[in-house]
Amino acid sequence: MKLQSYYKKVRGLLRTSQTQTHEAPATGEKVVIDALSDLRNRRLCPICLHEFPHFLRYNKRRAARCPGCGSLERHRTSWLYLKRETDLFRKQARLLHFAPEPFFVERIQRYVTIDHVKASFDPERPSEGVDIQRLPYPDAHFDVIYCSHVLEHVPDDRLALRELARVLKPDGVAMVLVPVRNEARTYEDPSIVSPEDRAKHFGQWDHLRWYGRDFPERVLEAQLSCETVYYSDRFSPIEEKLYGLRPEPFYICRHR
């Protein structure tokens, strides 16, 4: 089979997995690896399904941003996990999505089986948004919660985690992502208030803390279990380059 035909088959299998089975079959994974062995200069975003010679640099990271939809490594890793490891796209489900990313919204709205509840918050207009510390939803309301890089902005993140636990169904799953540095303890100091000082201490002007490896302890305090997942580790080096992934953790939280 010619290389061009290989690559067309790769894209066909991935599109089929997105729209029908939602999971690339084992034979499809082999075709991906075989094709990428020859097509070393191709990259494929699993969210928008566009192909490119390379991903773009972002925030000092090479091969981070998709030129098509703008997704970053954590978004593509999250999407692959949700597609392959959860039932979100296979059955009726209610999804609570904080700070909804446009590329996710565009893809998820294609699934009529998903009740997609989008929750945004602007500190400048608090009455117009959804405060994660005081969610306006009933108990045990959501099958899936997706909360990516939100808690580091929240004054009382422990209260926010308790609210996630409250609105999550007994058999539901919450996927939480936060910026974590390789330190044992979370670093926060409420006396640091200026944008300049917050950027210096916490990495960004509107961040209130740098999480450490103790983040799961905060989740446990909210009466949720917490599994630390490095999902990119489950992919071959060729697949990591294909999808533009990087090893950063996310946290799968469930009722205990």
pLDDT at position 215, please?
97
Q: Is pLDDT above 60 for 16?
A: no
91 within a domain of the structure (yes/no): yes
Q: Is pLDDT above 50 for 23?
A: no
Residue 162: half-sphere exposure toward Cβ, Cα within 13 Å:
7
Q: What's the domain range around 207?
A: 61-255
pLDDT at position 128, please?
73
65 within a domain of the structure (yes/no): yes
**pLDDT tens figures, 93-142:** 999 999 999 999 999 999 999 999 999 987 767 667 899 999 999 999 99
Give me the CATH number covering residue 217.
3.40.50.150
**pLDDT tens figures, 181-223:** 999 999 999 999 999 999 999 999 999 999 999 999 999 999 9
Any idea what DSSP says for residue 55?
A: P
6 within a domain of the structure (yes/no): no
What gap in Å lies between CA 209 and CA 193, rounded to an integer? Answer: 11
Split into its structural domains, the chain has a count of 1
The whole-angstrom distance between residue 219's C-alpha and the CA centroid of its chain comes to: 17
42 within a domain of the structure (yes/no): no
67 within a domain of the structure (yes/no): yes
pLDDT at position 122, please?
77
Mean pLDDT of the chain: 88
Q: What share of the chain is helix, strand, coil (3-state, %, to 5)?
A: 35, 25, 40
Q: Report the candidate in 73, 53, 51, 52 with the shortest Cα–Cα distance to residue 64.
A: 73
